[in-house]
Amino acid sequence: MDRGCHPEGVGAVSPTPPIDSSLRLEYVADFEYSYAAGEFASRFMNALRTQARIQGTRCEACSKVLVPPRPVCGLCLERTAEWVDVGPGGVITGYTVVEVPFIDPMTGIKRPIPYGFAFVRLDGADTNIYHFLEESRHDKISIGMRITAVFKPAPERDGTLADIIHFRAEEPAADD
Amino acid sequence: MGRVAIVGVGQSVHARDRNDVAYAELLLEAIDEALADAGIGLADVDNAVTASLDFYDGRTIANMAVADVVGSYLKPESRICSDGIGALLYGWARIADGAHQVGLVTAHCKESEGNLATIEGAAFDPFVQRRLGADADVVAGLGARQIYASGAFSPTDAAALVVAARAASAVNSKVTTLEPMTIAEVLDAPRLATPLGVFDRAPNRDGSCAMILATEEVARDLSDSPVWIAGVGTATGKYWADRHPADLSALDRARDSAVAMTGWGTDVPDLFEVSAQYAHQLCQFATRLGAQLTEAGRTLNPSGGWHAGNPVTVSGLSRVTECVHQLRGHAGPRQLHDAQRALAHGVAGLGAQSHFVAALEVGD
């Protein structure tokens, strides 16, 4: 066979032996980090742990309360100045019910499904946090529904957002 | 193409461990100082270019986590995963082409928060070589052996630069003062990856740097003596394993591009701020840029350079900051006599694959 006749064949060699091109290469790396929480997250986490209080920072320019607290109001480009308490009550502004399990980063195991997961606008806040809902039945959850934070007992709190176990309805559902 | 000036510079304090601040707060320190230096507010900035590395920050798209502090909501923000001096070149282009008037350029990194060997290891090609577990020190050790074997430089040349950097750290308020050291002490220190010792690698640091760039019109309004970006250049060389460490063609290309944009001709700049994470590389890069190694701590790296203590990602932009201080005559105890023109250099990638050069000057 005259390979030279075919441009795509120039320089080609016989493909022997056949190559198994489906080889996959495994790589496992353990990326450990120790994040400095800094002034704002540290104060937020400490208030959760020691007092079961949820705090935000208020922008002086627009008066909005940002939760979690942060040093700068991104829209006004101003430094936040004042610490304020928010919640523990609030309203659901969006929700989903998780039906496919995934690894819970807090425990390393799959969180039992189904479970409710919601955007929560805490009373006094102008931003949402997201957290678990106690309720997982679609017909018992609605946008605008009032809910409140359920904290772990003080000895079990360790200064993370998991110090809030979940949010539950402020009023028990009628048929409960 | 419009003229671009640097009208504000700022840096956080660079230290081994900035446990007192989260990385957005760390960056805010530099931004606040740069804005105050320029005499403007964040609202006056019309775009931002940030430099950060996801693996160091420990989250993907890490620039989104500093969007509020760089004021980039509803503004054009771009990010480079490289040294901050690359962000400066990008920020320069945005203003030089007329699209923007005032830009913020930032770089931040906390080397203290992750496992550096794992992070550096992830830079290696995953198909063939990565599982051998090399890191940046191993790559540098291989390179240093080749450079010393060629006779171009000796371990003593490199150690002298480390000594000068450590001495300079004492007069640079933005870095941690390092214990003075002699050449013999550097040479006798424990080995890292032979022939390199532990002091041949720049110390690991947390820190940030920020800069305000502006059009000529804005710059003249803000300052009587703006520092002009007279030329810029960057080039990337071959992957480290395919390139002899003495091959500095990427650095040459970056320098030539930058200098060609200036009106300097063959005149030697008044100062050089040169980046290299390993001391043998500093011998190479500084010499190739035209600096004299005997000038270390004076016209070569008056700031002390990377070996005085900056994090990766930030070092190149820190070099630019020092040039700005020197050209303005505001470098305090480090001030050189009559500095008018400066070359700032940055580097990124395993085995110093990418190089960046900015030519800076004062005067009309």
Per-residue pLDDT reduced to its tens digit, B341-353: 999 999 999 999 9
- Residue A142 above 80 pLDDT? yes
Look at residue B151 in the predicted model and tell me its pLDDT: 97
Summarize the confidence of residues A126-153 as an average pLDDT.
97
List the domain range (segments joined by +) for residue B80.
Answer: 4-114+204-222
Residue-averaged pLDDT of chain B: 96
Is residue B18 domain-resident?
A: yes
Look at residue A29 in the predicted model and tell me its pLDDT: 82
User: Nearest by CB to B113, which of A29, A33, A77?
Assistant: A33
Helix axis angle, B279-289 to B249-261, nearest 10°: 40
Nearest in space to B248 (alpha carbons), one of B302, B285, B195, B303: B285
Task: Give the pairing of strands B341-348 and B271-273.
Answer: parallel
Find the range with the poorest average confidence among A6-10, A105-109, B183-187, B264-268.
A6-10
Verify whether the Cβ–Cβ distance A39 to B21 is below 8 Å.
yes
Sheet holding B227-236, edge to edge: B77-80, B47-51, B102-110, B206-215, B4-11, B227-236, B354-361, B341-348, B271-273
Look at residue A1 in the predicted model and tell me its pLDDT: 42
Of residues B133 and B35, more confidently modeled? B35
Looking at the complex, report in whole angstroms how far the Cα of residue B94 sits from the nearest Cα belonging to chain A.
22
How many other C-beta atoms can be found within 10 angstroms of the C-beta atom of residue B163? 22
What would the 3-class secondary structure string for A84-98 be?
EEECCEEEEEEEEEE
Contacts of B107 (CB under 8 A, 6+ apart): B50, B51, B52, B83, B84, B87, B208, B209, B210, B313, B314, B316, B317
**Domain ranges across chain A:** 38-169
Residue A133 bridge partners (DSSP): A116, A167
Number of residues in chain B: 364
How many other C-beta atoms can be found within 10 angstroms of the C-beta atom of residue A108? 7
Residues on chain B touching A39 (C-beta within 8 angstroms): 20-22, 25
Is residue B9 domain-resident?
A: yes
CB B169 within 8 A of CB B203: no
Look at residue A13 in the predicted model and tell me its pLDDT: 57
CB B135 within 8 A of CB B191: no
Query: Considering the entire predicted model, what is its pTM?
Result: 0.92
Verify whether the Cβ–Cβ distance A36 to B41 is below 8 Å.
no
- Residue A119 above 90 pLDDT? yes
- Residue B214 above 50 pLDDT? yes
- How many Å from the N-terminal Cα to the C-terminal Cα in chain A? 83
Q: A164 in helix, strand or coil?
A: strand
Summarize the confidence of residues B297-302 as an average pLDDT.
98
Residue of A nearest to B26 (CA): A38
Name the band, by pLDDT with cuts 50, 70 and 90, for residue A103. confident
In angstroms, the Cα distances linking B262 to B22, B259, B327 are 40, 5, 16
Name the band, by pLDDT with cuts 50, 70 and 90, for residue B21. very high
Distance in angstroms (rounded) separating the CA atoms of residues A29 and A27: 7
- Residue A2 above 70 pLDDT? no
Which range, A17-21, A84-88, B68-72, is most confident?
A84-88
Contacts of A98 (CB under 8 A, 6+ apart): A111, A113, A114, A115, A116, A117
Q: What is the pLDDT of residues B147-182, one digit of tens each?
A: 999 999 999 999 999 999 999 999 999 999 999 999
Nearest in space to B53 (alpha carbons), one of A164, A19, A33, A170: A33
Verify whether the Cβ–Cβ distance A36 to B126 is below 8 Å.
no
How many other C-beta atoms can be found within 10 angstroms of the C-beta atom of residue B125? 9
Look at residue A174 in the predicted model and tell me its pLDDT: 56
Looking at the complex, report in whole angstroms how far the Cα of residue A130 sits from the nearest Cα belonging to chain B.
17
CB B267 within 8 A of CB B305: no
Is residue B107 domain-resident?
A: yes
Nearest in space to B332 (alpha carbons), one of B217, B168, B103: B168
Verify whether the Cβ–Cβ distance A38 to B24 is below 8 Å.
yes
Verify whether the Cβ–Cβ distance A41 to B22 is below 8 Å.
yes
Name the band, by pLDDT with cuts 50, 70 and 90, for residue A5. very low
Look at residue B31 in the predicted model and tell me its pLDDT: 98
Summarize the confidence of residues A142-161 as an average pLDDT.
97
Please report how many Cα atoms fall inside a 13 Å half-sphere around the Cα of residue B278, on the Cβ side.
Answer: 28
Is residue B20 domain-resident?
A: yes
Q: Which of A72, A76, A78, A80 to mutate to test the interface with B (most CBs of B within 10 A)?
A: A72
Joined together, the tokens standing for residue A24 give 């996959």
CB B350 within 8 A of CB B240: yes
How many A/B residue pairs have CB atoms within 8 Å? 73
Summarize the confidence of residues B295-304 as an average pLDDT.
98
Verify whether the Cβ–Cβ distance B25 to A39 is below 8 Å.
yes
Q: What is the pLDDT of residues B235-265, one digit of tens each?
A: 999 999 999 999 999 999 999 999 999 999 9
The residue type at B158: A
- Residue B126 above 50 pLDDT? yes
Task: Give the pairing of strands B196-197 and A115-122.
Answer: unpaired
Is residue B233 domain-resident?
A: no
Q: What is the CATH number of the domain that holds B96?
A: 3.40.47.10
Question: Domain total for chain B?
Answer: 1
Verify whether the Cβ–Cβ distance A74 to B68 is below 8 Å.
yes
